[in-house]
Structure 1
Amino acid sequence: MAASIPELLSPAGGEEALRAAVNNGADAVYLGGKSFSARARGENFDREGLARAVEYAHLRGVKVYVAVNTLLADQELEAIADYLRFLWRQGVDALIVQDIGLWYLLRQVLPQMPLHVSTQATVTATGAASLFYQAGAGRIVLARELSLPEIAEVHRAVPGVELEVFVHGAMCFSYSGQCLFSSLVGGRSGNRGWCAQPCRLAYELLRDEGREEAAGHLLSTKDLNLLPWLGELARAGVAALKIEGRLKRPEYVAVVTGVYRRALDAYAADPEEYAVVREWQRNLEQIFSRGFTSGYLLANQGTELMSYDRPNNRGLYLGRVQEVDRERLLAWIRLEDASLAVGDGLEFWVSHGGRRGLEVNRLQLGDRQVQVAPAGSRVGVAVPAGVAPGDRVFKTADAALLERARRSYRDPSAGQRVPLYLDVRGWPGQALTARARDDRGHQSEAQTRVPGQVPERYALDPESLRIQFGRLGGTAFYLADLEANLPEPVMYPVSQLNLLRRQLVADMTEQRLGEYSRPELEASEFAAQCRRVRTNLPVPPPANQEPETKLTVKVSYPRAALAAMETGADIIYFGGERFASGPGFSRQEVAEVFAAGRREGRPVIYSLPRLWLVQEETAVRHALEAAVAWGPAGILTGNLSGIKLAREVAPGLPIYGDYPLNIYNDLAIGFCYQMGLHQVTLSPEMTLAQIGALDWLARGYPLECLAHGHLPLMVSQSCVPGAVCGGRTAQQRCSRPCRTHTFSLRDRLGLVFPVETDQFCRQHIFNAKGLCLVEDLPRLLRLGVRRLRLELTRDSSERVGRIVRIYRKALDDLAAGEDAENFALWAAQARGELGSLSPQGLTKGHYYRGVL
C-alpha cells in the first residue's frame, strides 16, 4: 500500500547547486542572499541570481525558501526592508527566520508571507513550538537534538504547525543558536552568519589540575544520515526532511538529493518492504562523509556521535594495503566493497605521518593495466612515500559518480522537467490548432498563421509532429504525449510548427509562474511602514519602568545567593543549571534563599534552565511548581518554552527574558514586550554603540547588560568527559566522571576552557577569559542601562562576595558623584583584583569590537 511522504528539502548554495537539487528530485530548496544569511561564507545569490533561481524552481514545481536567519542590527532596518520587498515580489514560498525582532516586523508589515522558524531559534520543547505557532509560524525546523518520540510529541501537542527535521549532513556540536564560541573567541558570529567552526579544531581534554585525558577533534561530530529511518520520521508527523549543505559543492547536492529522492519514492511505493539499498549508502559515503551517525534520533550516541580522528571528508573505505612492491612502486589493495577506476582519488591512512593522497593514474590488475577494477579484486596502485602493509585506504573521489552528478545539472535535457500533453488538429485550408496542458491543469491553445496545404509529396504525420513539438531542449518542459488528428493529408511550413511550439511554451511558462505573482509594494511606503513599526513601539506603563540602576547577580547555589545579598546585590537570579562540580544543597537551603530575599528586600528571581528537551518538560515543570511555593519575585527564562511554562504555572509572576533569546535589536525587545516580559537581557554580541541606539532605553523599559563573568560559549547535548572518560555510547551509560573530577579543554593557543555538566547531563563550555566591565560602568550608566548583571553561576560563595562587593562600591561611588579621574584610578585597581580571579585574563567582550 502506498504511503504519503514528507517534502524533500535540499540546499542551494549557488545556481549550479540549485539546478542540482531541482534536477535530482527535491520538492523544495532553501537558499540565501548575499546578506542576512547564516551561511555568509557561501557563494549565495545576488538579486539577479535569486530571481533566476526562483523562476527555474517554480517553473518545475519546486518551492523556494529563503533563509533570512541572522540576527539583525537596528542599523540594518532600511536594508532588510528593501530586501524583504524584493523577496515578496519574487514570490518566494517562505522565509526562514531566527531573529524574533525580524519575526515581529514581518508579522506587521507582511502578514501574508509564510514564515518558517529556523533551527537557530533552538526549538527543543513543545512550549516554544506552541508560541511560535500562535505567532504565525507555518513550519518549525526542530533542533537536531530531539529524539524520534520527542518529535512525535511535538506533532501531537501542536498539530497545526509543520515540522521540519534535518536528515543528512553536518551537525553543529552545540545547540544551534546557542553557540558563542566563534563569536567570543574569534570575533565571527554564527548568529550573524560567520561561524569559523572552532568545533572542527583539535583540543586536549584536561582532568583536574591539568592531566591530559585525550586529544583530537573532540568537538567534531560525524555527519547525520537518517536514510534508514525515513518511514519512522514520516509516521512521527514530520512534514519536511532537510539536507544540510549550503556550503557544499553542487555534486554533493546532486548525489545526496538523488539518493533521498529514490529512497522516499521506494518508501512511498511499499512502506512495509522499504530497506536501504547498499548502493545508496555507498554513494553517500563517497560524495562526503566524516563517518555517519543517527545523531540523537534514537539515543545519545556518546563516542559514536563523534569524528575524533579528523574533521573533514574521509570518503569510502576500500580496504587495507596488503603488500608494497618497492621495485614497481605499487601498493596492492584488496577492494572489499567498492570498485576503483583511473581518475578516482585515494587517501592512505599511514601509521606514521598522517595521510597520503593521490589521484589514480595507473591501475594494475594482475599483470594487466586496466581502467576499472571491480569490488573484491586485488589491485595495484602507485604508492606514495610512507605507505606500509596494513594501512587503511579510502576512496575520496569517484570520477564516474562525479561525472554523473555534473551531467544532472549541466545537461539542459537532464533532470526535472514539466510534462506537456498536446492535442494537435489540422486540415487543408485550416490553421493547425494545438492545445497543451501540463501536470497542474494549465491549458493553452495556439494556431498557425497560415492554413494547411494539400501536400504535393509528403504529408504531415503524427511522428513528424512529435519530432517538431518535442524539440523542447533548453526549456522547462518535455513532450509527454501528443494526440494528432489529421483526417486528410495536409502540410504546414516547419517554421509555423516551430512558432506554434514557442507560443505554447511561452504561454504555459507565464501561467505556471503566474501562480506565484504578488502585488508590487511601493518602495518608499514599504520602507516607511517598516520604520513606523520601530518608532511606534509601545511605551511601558509606569509600573514596568525602572528609573534606577540595579546590580543583578546570577548564581546557581544557595550559599552563593546569600553571599550576593550580603555584599550588595539588588536582585538575585537563582536556579537554572546545577553543575556537577558545584556543592550539594538541600531544599531547606533553597527555601532560605527566597526567605532571605524577602526579609532583606532583595528580590530573588527563579531561573529556569537555559533550555530543555521534550522528555525533560515534566521535570522542569515540577521544579518550577516547587519554586513557586517558595515565593520567588519572578521567573527568568532564556527560551520561549519557559515563557509558556511560566504563564501556566505562575500566571501572576513577572517573566524576565534572558540573553539566550538572542535579543539584538529594538524589534526583538518589542516581540518580548508583546509576549508580556517584564525585562530582557541583551545579547552579549551587541556593542555599546548599538545598545545606546536602542529606542527602548528612552522608554524606561528595564534592559539588562552582562557586565562580568565567564560566559558559556557552547551548550551541547553531547558531553566530552562523558564520552571520553565515562564510556558513554548508544548502548552504555556514562559512568559520571564529572561527579568526582573537573574537566576543561585546551586549544592550540594554550587557552583552557572550563567544561561543566548540568543536571540533565548537558555540557557547557565556558570562556577562558572573564568578561569585566568595571572600568566601563560610567559609560553604561550614561547610556541609560538599568540592569547590570554579574554572571557568577560557577563561582564559590567567597568569590561571589568579592566580585559583588567591588561592583557594589563602583555603582555607589558613581551614584554619589565620584570624580571621573578618581573613579578611573580606582577601577583600574579593581580590575586588577578581578583579574586575579581569572588567571587566563579578562575581556570586554564585544562591547567595543563588535562581531562580523
Structure 2
Amino acid sequence: MKSDRPFSSSSLQRPEILAPAGNWECAKAAVENGADAIYFGLDRFNARMRAQNFTEADLPQFMAFLHHRGVKGYVTVNTLIFPKELAQAQQYLRTIIAAGVDAAIVQDVGICRLIRHLSPDFPIHASTQMTITSAAGVEFVKSLGCQLVVLARECSLKEINKIQQQIAQQNTSLPLEVFVHGALCVAYSGQCLTSEALGGRSANRGECAQACRMPYELIADGEVVDLGNRKYLLSPQDLAGLEVLPDLVKSGVTSLKIEGRLKAPEYVANVTRVYRQALDRVMEELDAGTRREGDAGNGVKKSFASSQENYNLEMAFSRGLYTGWFGGINNQELVHAHFGKKRGVLLGEVTRIRNEQVTVRLEAPVKPGDGIVFDCGHPEAKEEGGRVYGVVEKGKEALLTFGRSDLNLRRVHVGDKVWKTSDPELDKQLRQSFAGDNPQFQRPISLEVYGEVGQPLIAIARDELGNIVQVESAIALVEAHTKPLDTNRLQEQLGRLGNTPFALGTLTNHLSGAVMLPVSELNRMRREIVTQLEELRTQPKRWQLHSDVSFQNLLPSSSPKKEDTGTRGHGDAGNLSQTLSASPHLPISASSSSPSLIVLVRNLKQLQAALQAGVETLYCEFEDPRAYREAVHLVRQQAQTQKEKFLPHPPHLPHPPHPTIWVAPPRITKPGENWILQQVRASKADGYLIRNYDQLQFFAADRCIGDFSLNVANPLTAGYFQQRFGLERLTASYDLNITQLEDLLTNCPPHWFEVTIHQHMPMFHMEHCVFCAFLSEGTDYTNCGRPCEKYEVKLRDRVGSEHVLQADVGCRNTVFNGTAQTGAEYVQHLIHLGLRHFRIEFINETPDQVQKTIHHYHQLLQGKITGSQLWRELKLQNQLGVTRGPLGMSALRS
C-alpha cells in the first residue's frame, strides 16, 4: 500500500497510528497497513499474558525490522511488579533498553523509578493502567520521568481538551495518547479487581477473566427486574473513534491507539488500514481548511467514514461499534446489553424458513462462503450458524441455503436476527496486504535536487523521522540539447522506489539551466539514497544505560534509625532530606506495639455501631460527601463524651484514646470535579483516604493515608509515595498474596502499611452507571431521576451470587463482591512481621452485623481467638458469607 501523502503543512500535529501486535504476523500486518508505531508484550510483565507475545531474544531482530520500515516499537511492561520480581524486572528492563526499543509502557510507579534510575533518557509511557483522568495525573507521572501519558478510556473529548489546556497553563505538558478503537473495559483500567475476587486471577497481572462479558440479572429491592433479553449489563459496545478523528486531531493528542493484542493479524491489518486512510483524509482536509480559512478548525466534514470502512471495522471484530466516552456520558448507548461476544455485521432478519432455505430481509451484502449466525436472543446458549452455500437475491431479500447437516433449521425462527461473522473474501484481501517479503506500505521521502553544468548532481533526501542523506553523482552534469532534467523527468527516475520502504513525496528542483545526466547514474543515485536511508533507520537507538546501579539503591530501610520517627524510608538518598523537610505532615510514632483495628463504614448507622463497638480509627466512604459533616460531628461528640467520662483524669495515667475519623473522596477525579474534593474537606475530618493523584495534590497540606487504589505492590512504589508525599500509611495492594505481602513488609518499615483483612472486594469500578442505564430512560445524571437513591440494587451472576451495586457522588458505580473475604488466619503472622494496622470494611451490613464482626476481630487482634476460629465462627453465623479472600486463596495457590 503506497502512501503518497506529503509532509503535512497543517499547524496541527499529525498523531501517530499505534497498532497492537501479539506476534510477528500481527506486527507485519500493522507495518504493511500504515502503523506509525506498534506496541507489544514480551513473555513477562505485560497485561495480555494470553497473547503469543515476543521473547527478549526476538528484540534486536524485531526492532531492526520495525526501524527499517520507519515504525517505532513500544514494549508493554504494564503490570504491577511484586517485591521478589524486582531483580528479574531490572534485568528485563536492561535488555529492553539495550535493544533500542523506543519506549516502555508502564503501570507500576516503582518500575518508572527503576527505569529512570537505570537510564536517564529511555522513554517511559504512562500506561492507561495508571488511571490518569486529569492534569494532576499528568503532573504526577511527569514527576516520575514519564514522557507520554495514555489517558483513561473514560475521558471525553471535552475533558481531553480541558486537560490539554490545564497542563499547558501549568507548564507540565506531556504528549497525550488515547485509545481510538477496540474493546472497551467497563471498569477503569488499573482499578478492576473482578478477576482477582472471583477467580484468583488479576487484571493488574495480565490475567483478566473478562467477567464483564458475562450475563447478569438486575435485582432491585429484592426483586428481579424484567429487562427482556438485556442480560449483558456490564459489556460495553466496542470503541470506534473514526467519526471523531477530526476532533481528536484538533485536541492535539499525539497518538491514536488501537486495542487488540489478542486479535488475529487480519484484524490488525483491517483496523490499521481504515484508520491510516481516514487520518490521511482528515489531515488533508484540515490542511485545506487552514489554507482556505486561516483556521485549522474549519473545512472538515463531520462524517467522512465510508460504508465500506464501517463494514470492514464491523467485520474485524464487533460487539457493536460506538464512540465510547468521547462524546460524554450516554448510559443508554454505551451498553446495549444484548450480547457480550463478537457479532460482526448485522445481515438482516429471518422472514421465512421453507424447503431447507432461509429467507432474510437484507441490511448488508451476502455471498456464498460467508459465515453467519442466527440470533434468537439467547447468546449464552448454543446458537445455530454456518457457511452460506447458496444465495438467491429477490429484491431486498435473499434466499440462503447451507451445506447438508450444517445447522438445525428447527432451532431457527422467523424474526431471528442474522449476523455476518465471517467474510473469507475480505480476509483474503487483508492477508495479501502483508504477504510476501517486499514492502507494501511505503513512507514518503522528500527530495531536493541541486546542480549546474560542470558540477555534480546533488540529491538531498529526508524521511518523516528526520533522517537525512546527501548523494552526489559520480559524473558532472552537462548541457542538455534535448530532454533536459526537468522536474517531471527527475520524479520519473528518482521516484522508482518499488520494493523499497519509500515512496517519493515531494521533489524540489533547484537545477540551474538545461542540464542532463545519464539515466544509469540517476538510477545509481536512487539506489544509494535508499541504501543510506535504510542504514540510518536500522541503527539501534543508543539509550544511556548505567551498569553500576541497581534497584537495591532505591530500597527503603526496613529498620529506620531512631532519629527517624517513622513516616519516611531511605529511598532516593539524594532527595530524601529535601522531601523530609518539605513534608507538611507530622510524623507518626512507630513505637506502638499493640495492633490497631481500622473500620471502614458506608453509612451513618454503621458508623454509630462501630463507635459503640469501641473502634478508635474510623474511615467513612459515603455516596454523598455532604454527609461527612454529620459523621465527623458524631465522632467528635463521642470523643467529647469519653473525655467527660474520664474527668477528672488522674495525672499519672495515660489519656484514653479518642476515636479519629478519616473520610474518603471518590476513587476517580476528572477535570471540573474539585468541588467534590472541597465538599470532602469541608467536613474537617482528622484526615483523608487518598485514592488518586488529584487527591495527593489537593490534600497535600492535610493528614493523608494512601488507599489500595494507588496500587502499592513493591517497596519502590511504597518508598515513592512515602518520601515524596509524606503519607502516614499506605494500604497494601489487593493483588498481593500472603507471601508477597510478607516480602513487602520485610523490605520496608512495616509501620508504613495497613492491610485490609476483611472486605467485600470492590470488583468493577466504572464510569458506566447501571442504575441510569437499566432503571431509567435517562442518559446521565441530568435526566435519570436518581434511581441510585431509590433502590438497593444487586447483580446476580451465572452461579447465583448476588453482588452489591453502589454509586458515588460522581455517578460512578462500584460492584462489590456479595461474599465477604477474610485474611484472618494470617493476622498473627503479620503482627509478628511488625504490621500494626488492620482494616475491615463493611458494605451493606446491619448495625448488629457490624458490631458482631468488629467484636470477633478485636478478639483476634488481642489473641483471644485464632484466625481459624474466627473463620469458623463467622462461617457458622452464615450472615456475612465469609470465604477465604485473596490473602488466603492466593497463598494456597502459591
Q: Which TM bucket (shorter chain)?
A: 0.7 to 0.9
Structure 2 vs 1, CA of residues 235 and 365 (structure 1 numbering), >3 Å: closer, same or farther? closer
Does the alignment pair 1:442 with 2:492? Answer: no
SS at match of 2:862: helix
Kept in 1, the 8 Å contact 2:738–2:826? The answer is no
Q: Percent identity?
A: 32
Please name the residue that 2:278 is paired with: 263
Matched to 1:845, the amino acid is P
Q: Are positions 1:344 and 2:370 aligned together? A: yes
* 1:836/1:756 CA distance change after superposition, 3 Å: farther
**What secondary structure sits across from 1:849 in the alignment?**
helix
Q: Deviations over 1:754-782 (max 9, x none)?
A: 22223332221111321223333211211
Deviations 1:403-429 (A, max 9, x none): 22212222424123464869899x9xx
Indicate the residue corresponding to 1:457 in structure 2. Answer: none
2:779 and 2:200 mapped to 1: Cα distance?
Answer: 34
Q: 560, 584, 599: which is aligned to 1:553?
A: 599
For 2:687, the equivalent position in structure 1 comes to: 634
Q: Which amino acid aligns with 1:335?
A: L
Q: Report the 3-state secondary structure (helix = DSSP H, G, I; strand = E; otherwise coil) of the residue aligned with 2:276.
A: helix
SS state of the match for residue 805, structure 1?
Answer: helix
Q: Does 1:331 align with 2:358?
A: yes
Q: 1:774 to 1:73 in 2, by over 3 A?
A: closer
Letter in 1 for 2:434: Y
- Counterpart of 2:778, as a letter, is R
Amino acid at match of 1:66: V
**CA distance 1:81–1:470, shift in 2 (3 Å):** same
2: CA distance between counterparts of 1:655 and 1:589? Answer: 18
Identify the residue that residue 157 of structure 2 maps to in structure 1: 148
CA–CA distance in structure 1, aligned partners of residues 787 and 373 of structure 2: 37
SS of equivalent residue, structure 1 residue 627: coil
CA distance in 2, matches of 1:733, 1:269: 40
Moved more, 339-348 or 467-476: 467-476
Instruction: Say which of 697, 705, 709 aligns to 1:660.
Output: 709
Q: Distance in 2 between matches of 1:731 and 1:320?
A: 35
Identify which of 194, 201, 207 aligns with 1:181: 194
Cα 1:161–1:321, aligned 2, differ >3 Å: closer, same or farther?
same
| Contact kept? 1:655, 1:678, Cα under 8 Å | yes
Cα distance in 2, alignment partners of residues 802 and 501 from structure 1: 83
Alignment match, 1:842? 883
Could you say what secondary structure the match of 1:614 adopts?
coil
Q: Is the 8 A contact 1:546 1:700 kept in 2?
A: no
Evaluate the alpha carbon distance shift between residue 100 and residue 829 of structure 1 in structure 2; reply closer, same or farther with a 3 A threshold. closer
- Quote the Cα distance in structure 1 between the aligned partners of 2:141 and 2:544: 28
Q: Equivalent residues in 2 for 1:770-809 (5 A)? A: 770-809=820-859
RMSD: 3.8
SS in 2 for 1:635: strand
Corresponding position: 1:89 with 2:98: yes
Distance 1:694 1:349, change over 3 A: closer
Q: Distance in 1 between matches of 2:503 and 2:57?
A: 26
Residue matched to 1:239: 254
Q: Shift in Å at residue 325 of structure 1?
A: 3.8
Q: Please give the alpha-carbon distance, in whole angstroms, between the structure 2 residues aligned to 1:489 and 1:639.
A: 66
Equivalents in 1 of 2:59, 2:791: separation in Å?
53
Please tell me whether residue 222 in structure 1 is matched to residue 237 in structure 2: yes
Judging changes above 3 Å, is the alpha-carbon distance between structure 1 residues 669 and 334 closer, same or farther for their aligned structure 2 residues? same
CA drift of 1:31 comes to 1.6
1:198 aligns with 2:211: yes
TM-aligned CA deviation for residue 209 of structure 1: 2.9
Whether 1:710 aligns to 2:760 is yes
**Alignment partner, residue 634 of structure 2:** 592
Q: Which residue number corresponds to residue 728 of structure 2?
A: 678
Output the CA distance in 2 between the equivalents of 1:234 and 1:489: 44
Deviation of the 1:637 alpha carbon: 0.8
Residue by residue over 1:378-427, the C-alpha shift from the partner in whole angstroms, topping out at 9 and shown as x without a partner, is 433215413344432222222332222212222424123464869899x9
Matches within 5 A, 1:550-589: 550-578=596-624, 587-589=629-631
Aligned to 2:418, which of 393, 418, 432? 393
Q: Which residue of 2 aligns with 1:64?
A: 73
Pair 127,434 (structure 1): closer, same or farther in 2 beyond 3 Å: closer
Matched, 1:724 2:765: no
- CA 1:433–1:219 in structure 2 vs 1: closer, same or farther (change >3 Å)? same
2:139 counterpart of 1:139:
no
Q: Distance in 1 between matches of 2:613 and 2:518?
A: 102
**2:361 aligned with 1:309, yes or no?**
no
Shift of 1:37: 0.7
Q: What is the deviation of 1:20?
A: 2.1
391-400 or 117-126, which deviates more: 391-400
- CA distance in 2 between partners of 1:685 and 1:175 (Å): 16
- Partner of 2:565 in structure 1? 541
Q: What secondary structure sits across from 2:188 in the alignment? A: coil
* Structure 1 unpaired stretches of 5+: 367-375, 452-461, 815-822
Whether the 8 Å contact between 1:803 and 1:834 is mirrored in structure 2 is no
For the structure 1 residues 622 and 481, does the alpha-carbon distance in structure 2 shift closer, same or farther, using more than 3 Å as the test? closer
Q: CA deviation at 1:661?
A: 0.8
Residue 81 (structure 2) pairs with residue 40 (structure 1) = no
Matches of 2:534 and 2:231 in 1, distance apart? 54
Give the SS at the match of 2:713. coil
- Aligned pair count reads 803
Q: 2-side partners of 1:475 and 1:2: how far apart? A: 28
Between the aligned partners of 1:732 and 1:9, the Cα distance in structure 2 is: 36
Contact in 2 for aligned 1:577/1:609 (Cα 8 Å)? no
User: Closer, same or farther in 2 for the Cα pair 1:362/1:423, shift >3 Å?
Assistant: farther
Report the equivalent of 2:5: none
My pick for the range that moved more, 78-87 or 656-665, is 78-87
For the residue of structure 2 that corresponds to 1:355, the secondary structure is: coil
Q: Give how far 1:41 is off.
A: 0.7
Change (3 A) 1:777 1:633: same
* 1:684 counterpart letter in structure 2: Y
Contact 2:713 2:744 in 1 (8 A): no
Deviates more, 1:466-475 or 1:41-50: 466-475
Which range moved further: 276-285 or 30-39? 276-285
Asked if the contact 1:685–1:847 (Cα under 8 Å) also holds between the matched residues in 2, the reply is no
Give the match for residue 427 of structure 2: 402
Aligned residue for 2:247, secondary structure, equals: helix
Question: What is the TM-score with the length of structure 2 in the denominator?
Answer: 0.81
Q: Bigger shift: 187-196 or 693-702? A: 693-702
Out of 631, 654, 660, the residue aligned to residue 604 of structure 1 is: 660
What letter matches 2:461 in structure 1? R
- What is the SS of the residue equivalent to 2:598? strand
Report 1:270-281 matches (<5 A).
270-271=285-286, 272-274=299-301, 275-279=303-307, 280-281=309-310
* Equivalent residues of 1:96, 1:117 under 8 A apart: yes
CA distance in 1, matches of 2:328, 2:496: 53
Does residue 1:363 correspond to 2:391, yes or no? Answer: yes
For 1:796, give the aligned amino acid. T
Deviations 1:674-727 (A, max 9, x none): 222121010122122222222666635321111112121111121323322223
Q: Is the 8 A contact 2:758 2:822 kept in 1?
A: yes
Who is 1:645 aligned against? 698
State the partner residue of 2:440. 414
Give how far 1:194 is off: 0.6
**C-alpha displacement of 1:672:** 0.8
- Aligned runs of 1:443-522 on 2, under 5 Å? 443=469, 445=471, 475-477=500-502, 505-514=530-539, 517-518=541-542, 521=545
